[in-house]
Copies of this chain bind each other. A is one copy, B any other.
Amino acid sequence: MAGSGTALYAAGMIVRPRPSGLGLVFALRGSILPMIATRLAVIVLLSCVVVWLHHIWPVHVGVASVAPFTLLGLGLSIFLGFRNNSCYNRWWEGRQQWGALISTSRSFLRDINALLPEDDPLRRRAAHRIGMFAHALRTQLRGSQTQPAPDWLPAGGWARPVRNRPGLLLSELASEFAERMRAGEISDISYRLFSDHMTTMTSIQGACERLRATPMPFAYSLMLHRTVWLFCLLLPFGMVDILGLGTPLLTLVLAYSFLGLDALGEELEQPFSATPNGLPLDAMVRIIDIAVAETLCDPTPEPLHPQNFVLL
């Protein structure tokens, strides 16, 4: 049914049902596993060496020597939990801002459609500029376009070379609105309405720039990353006395969850990156393209669909 279409194409980059049974064990696509495979191999190798050393040179380290590791490991879990929560919040705020951009663009388009006279060329130009804002913001956050652009996008790059291109788009639009206001074609209340939409768009741009340019404090990430490494490297020594041959297995499981969360946090920290867990900016830009087209009664482009489970 067509009505349920809009929501479907704004999905996160990995779009697949959660696998079950054996599929679960071997699912790699969208997993964090490939990213930390090398590190895990190092840890497992180390713990095998430790088991072997312990076998040929059995020093009894003490009956409960796993206790300090429990202390370190749980402290680490707590700090890692808070950090991961903050990274997830950054990712989710990125999605919220882009969702707000979609909503604002739609409201802005609706008001332009209703308030500007049918025969005013500004109407079409303004709608296109709203679409261009999303394209420009996407380019600013992620780099050059990979999807076919709508034909109203200027092919050979855009006009005046400025640092803040999305800002320029709105600035020129505001000047045109003010001109119409001075000509008495729209009231100052209508200008204010348009200006409020543009203020919202500028705030969204500022928030996206903030998320992109200010990662979590470097010292914080570095300290947790270091402690996770140290913990995983020391783990086999602490467990070999108790677990014997089971050491590599449990070390692997623990290292998987700790290194995995650390790596995942690092990825979610940058919600606009083009990694498999980044946000699908291209698909969201396309939703705005569709809104522009439906406002102008132009032929609407197709929404983007995930390819090989990945939506860009």
Contact = CB atoms under 8 A, between A and B. Distances in A.
B223 A250 contact: no
Interface in A206-224: 206-210, 212-223
Given A77-B79, A96-B210, A210-B99, A31 B294 contact: no
Identical chains bound together, number: 5
A68 B234 contact: no
Nearest to A203: B103
Contacts of A175: 113-114
Interface residues of A, number: 150
A164 B187 CA distance: 29
A56 interface: no
Interface in A187-206: 187-193, 195, 198-199, 202-203, 205-206
Contacts of A212: 7
A79 B75 contact: no
Contact of A167 (B219, B241, B294): B294
Contact of A294 (B2, B65, B168, B246): B168
Interface in A89-147: 91-92, 95-96, 99-100, 102-103, 106-107, 109-111, 113-115, 136, 139-141, 143-144
A214 B10 contact: yes
Interface string A1-19: 1111111111110111010
A260 B107 contact: no
B30 A218 contact: yes
Contacts of A277: 217-220
A203 B225 CA distance: 37
Contacts of A107: 195, 198-199, 202-203
A7 B307 CA distance: 29
A33 B304 CA distance: 38
Contacts of A163: 2, 5-6, 290, 294, 300, 303
A264 interface: yes
A64 to B, nearest CB: 6
Interface of A: 1-12, 14-16, 18, 24-25, 27, 30-32, 61-82, 84-86, 88, 91-92, 95-96, 99-100, 102-103, 106-107, 109-111, 113-115, 136, 139-141, 143-144, 158, 161-165, 167-168, 170-171, 174-175, 177-178, 187-193, 195, 198-199, 202-203, 205-210, 212-223, 225-227, 229-231, 234, 237, 239, 241-244, 246, 249-250, 253-254, 256-258, 260-261, 264, 266-268, 276-277, 279, 290-291, 294-295, 300, 303
11 contacts: A3-B158, A12-B214, A18-B221, A30-B218, A31-B223, A79-B81, A79-B84, A99-B207, A114-B174, A171-B295, A234-B249
